[in-house]
């Protein structure tokens, strides 16, 4: 907007040195620039659908009886943050190094932060486009969130999943006492990424699925060996072996009579 009074005889709007309007006559070809008012008190133009290229100085030039006068206004164009590049989901072995990247645009330049989406996480782990993790542990697996904010609009967020692979670790393997003729269960629990494959041995002999009187149930985090009708021959030492491509581990337990 440009305020004028009755001493003004001529008016024009300029962008840098280019004339946009002179009086009611449009000099620029841009259809987004329109004349809003040319009255005795106001000379105003409107720029529709503003673009970053519209940023810069605009000059209202007026001619009075004695001399010309100019009034300048600087248009600052703000742009909401936008994440233009972010690392893909990654799978890495425990102890390896991870580099995550999050590139964002906006005006003013957005602030970029990284945080670990985890119950134990506290605050930001990086206030930068780059997040470096050296010697990653299994506790550091999960989702990492990049946030880009510049106060023009709500922050934009995107997430990257980091999978940390590690060899099996048997967390629970208890011996069990069961009377002859009863149902008995031996349980072997193991955490591993990727999930462990389980095998059972009695002494040095591998137990096969479907063996008479036995059932082996393998899940992602445990294996269950069930004896439907325990006999004297079933008593003894059993070994559970948990393995994935990173390694294997085993635990022994005893099925005994009461």
Domains observed in the chain: 2-75 (2.60.40.10), 80-166 (2.60.40.10), 175-256 (2.60.40.10)
pLDDT digits (tens, 9 = 90+) for 163-181: 999 999 999 999 999 999 9
What integer is the mean pLDDT of 219-232?
Answer: 93
pLDDT digits (tens, 9 = 90+) for 87-111: 999 999 999 999 999 999 999 999 9
CA distances from 230 to 80, 204, 208, 253 (A): 70, 20, 17, 16
- Residue 210, pLDDT > 90, answer no
- Residue 209, pLDDT > 80, answer no
Name which of 61, 59, 45, 68 is nearest 11 in CA terms: 61
The overall average pLDDT reported for the chain is 93
Q: What is the pLDDT of residue 258?
A: 74
Q: What is the pLDDT of residue 91?
A: 97
In the chain, what is the straight-line distance between the N-terminal and C-terminal CA atoms, in Å? 96
pLDDT digits (tens, 9 = 90+) for 20-78: 999 999 999 999 999 999 999 999 999 999 999 999 999 999 998 878 899 999 999 99
Report how far residue 45's alpha carbon sits from residue 29's, in angstroms, rounded to the nearest whole number. Answer: 14
Task: Please tell me which of 114-123, 201-210, 228-237 the model is most confident about, judged by mean pLDDT.
Answer: 228-237
Query: Confidence band (pLDDT; 50, 70, 90) for 112?
Result: very high
Cis status, amide bond into 194, omega within 30 of 0: yes
- Residue 83, pLDDT > 90, answer yes
- Residue 147, pLDDT > 80, answer yes
Percent of the chain past pLDDT 90, that is, above it, reads 86
Neighbours of 103 (CB within 10 A): 15
Q: What is the pLDDT of residue 171?
A: 92
Contact present, 90 and 163 (Cβ < 8 Å): yes
Q: What is the pLDDT of residue 120?
A: 75
pLDDT digits (tens, 9 = 90+) for 228-244: 999 999 999 999 999 99
Q: What is the pLDDT of residue 67?
A: 84
What integer is the mean pLDDT of 139-149?
Answer: 94
Q: What is the pLDDT of residue 125?
A: 85
Q: What is the pLDDT of residue 14?
A: 96
Which residues in 170-193 are b (16+ Cβ under 10 Å) and which e? beebeebebeeeeebebbbbbbbb
- Residue 159, pLDDT > 90, answer yes
Percent of the chain past pLDDT 70, that is, above it, reads 99
């Amino acid at each position: 907007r440009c305020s004028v009074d009755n001493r003004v005889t001529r008016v024009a709007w300029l962008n840098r040195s280019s004339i946009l309007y002179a009086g009611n006559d449009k000099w620029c070809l841009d259809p987004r620039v329109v004349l809003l008012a040319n009255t005795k008190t106001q000379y105003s133009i409107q720029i529709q659908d503003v673009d970053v290229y519209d940023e810069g100085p605009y000059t209202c030039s007026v001619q009075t009886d004695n001399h010309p006068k100019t009034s300048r206004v600087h248009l600052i164009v703000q742009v909401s943050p936008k994440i233009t590049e972010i690392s893909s989901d990654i799978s890495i072995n425990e102890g390896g190094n991870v580099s995550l990247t999050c590139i964002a645009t906006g005006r003013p330049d957005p602030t970029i932060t990284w945080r670990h989406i985890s119950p134990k996480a506290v605050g930001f782990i990086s206030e930068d486009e780059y997040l470096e993790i050296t010697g990653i542990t299994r506790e550091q697996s999960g989702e990492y969130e990049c946030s880009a904010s510049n106060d023009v609009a709500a922050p934009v967020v995107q997430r990257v999943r980091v999978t940390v692979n590690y060899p099996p670790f048997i967390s629970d393997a208890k011996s069990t006492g069961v009377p002859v003729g009863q149902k008995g269960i031996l349980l072997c629990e193991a955490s591993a990424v990727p999930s462990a494959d389980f095998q059972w041995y009695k002494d040095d002999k591998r137990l096969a699925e479907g063996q008479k009187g036995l059932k082996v149930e393998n899940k992602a985090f445990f294996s269950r060996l069930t004896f439907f009708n325990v006999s004297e021959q079933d008593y003894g030492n059993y070994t559970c072996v948990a393995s994935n491509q990173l390694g294997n581990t085993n635990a022994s337990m005893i099925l005994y009579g009461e």
